[in-house]
Amino acid sequence: MALAINVSSSSSSAISTSSFPSSELKAPRIGSLRLSDRVNVSTASLSLSGKRSSSVKPLNVQSIAKESFVPSQAASVVASEVTEKLDVVEVEDFEELAKSLETASPLEIMDKALEKFGNDIAIAFSGAEDVALIEYAHLTGRPFRVFSLDTGRLNPETYRLFDTVEKHYGIRIEYMFPDAVEVQALVRNKGLFSFYEDGHQECCRIRKVRPLRRALKGLRAWITGQRKDQSPGTRSEIPVVQVDPVFEGLDGGAGSLVKWNPVANVEGNDVWNFLRTMDVPVNTLHAAGYVSIGCEPCTRAVLPGQHEREGRWWWEDAKAKECGLHKGNIKENSNGNANANVNGTSSTVADIFKSENVVSLSRQGIENLMKLENRKEAWIVVLYAPWCPFCQAMEGSFDELADKLGGSGVKVAKFRADGDQKEFAKRELQLGSFPTILVFPKNSSRPIKYPSEKRDVDSLTSFLNLVR
């Protein structure tokens, strides 16, 4: 996708400093406008593949009260009359740029991003391991900006990290807050924890997505800590730089915002090695088993061997592990269905749990099993979807369990509970998220749901021995 920029020069502008002390103006900081490198204010036009053209205003020329990223008291820009025009056309193909940077280091990518966009780009900092982005920006020696979304429901440890990071790097993080009226209406109408019942999307839209949209309307580019290995279902193909497919930038419209992902190709372990080597301050929750950190009610620690995103919105399906900030990662097929393989509608997804000792139950089969009040054998059944990465991760241990229990008086079975069977499984089989494991004891009509996230052979065997 090509982004065309027409630039015309203008005369110098008068700049009033922010309310911060002058020492804060040595380098760009959130909370001060940091336009020391902008003596000349220019106007420009931005178009996407020649389809759209709109006026590009210097930062803060538009109404701050409506959508701007920087506080209104930070600075004011008085643009003087343009005395001459210089027609320069710069065409940037960000797909080609992404290819050229595919093997570049995060430091190189960060440097390129800051060089290209200067004061019109900012780092999105969540209080998790993406603090590495701030360290990379610091290492470039260039001025940089940082913002964060304060949802009002973050962990105390996250707030303490914000303060530590500001002091460590000598910066001011700009915090974006949700609209108080919208939050009040949600809580009054549906309670403090409605997301456990009807999904996290509504709450995230109010507390995160809309504040982010306001923040990005004051920028031309932003920097995120997305990595391909964070979420196999939604982030496996993210490029290091792209035209943002969802949000709009300063000039509005499709193609007005560029998104940089400097650590897209870096594995989580390598990020942590970097943080330790550079002695970067990190969230103390990481030491307690939290890997991916969000709001307190929707984040929990993960167990060894679990994927990091299992700690986020754990009561929902794997396909819902995005809050909306990066919903452009969710692709649509030709029929308009998001992530067909993730929804279980793709016939190309290979089935899992292939041991000859695993019984494959049909809808009729599991209904018959539920009706039996005096079973001759206990059953352990996994409700699964073959596209689910968490089901795939436990395939080896479940097959091993089936082979171990062969001839022991316990039947091991699987029931594919996605697609047309999902509503039935939710209603009748206690399905919350994939995988769900049920034990049908002898002489009992009610199945018992396995409550643990530990799905190794020893843990499953121990549970069976307690309840069968």
Residue whose structure tokens are 């982010």? 212
Q: How many residues make up the chain in this entry?
A: 468
Q: What is the CA radius of gyration of the chain?
A: 26
The Cα 389–Cα 382 span in angstroms is 14
> Would you call 388 a catalytic residue per the annotation?
yes
Of 204, 298, 323, 391, which one is the catalytic site residue? 391
The Cα 442–Cα 335 span in angstroms is 46
Evaluate the omega torsion of the peptide bond into residue 245 and state whether it is cis, within 30 degrees of 0.
no
The Cα 454–Cα 468 span in angstroms is 18
Q: 7 is written with which tokens?
A: 């630039």
> Would you call 295 a catalytic residue per the annotation?
no
The one-character DSSP state at 107 is: H
Question: Are the C-beta atoms of residues 323 and 230 closer than 8 Å to each other?
Answer: no
Question: Are the C-beta atoms of residues 330 and 354 closer than 8 Å to each other?
Answer: no
The Cα 160–Cα 164 span in angstroms is 6
The Cα 296–Cα 170 span in angstroms is 27
Torsion sign over Cα 359, 360, 366, 368? negative
The Cα 46–Cα 101 span in angstroms is 23
Residue whose structure tokens are 């097959």? 399
The phi, psi pair for 305, rounded to 5°, reads: 95, -15
Strands (E), 220-336: 221-223, 241-243, 258-260
Strand partners, 55: 45
Strand partners, 175: 148
Q: 326-332: which pairs have CB atoms within 8 A and are 24 or more residues apart?
A: 326/224, 326/226, 326/234, 326/235, 326/246, 327/246, 328/244, 328/245, 328/246, 329/226, 329/231, 329/234, 329/235, 329/237, 329/238, 330/234
The Cα 200–Cα 207 span in angstroms is 11
Side-chain half-sphere CA neighbours of 224 within 13 A: 24
Provide the annotated active-site residues.
Answer: 388, 391
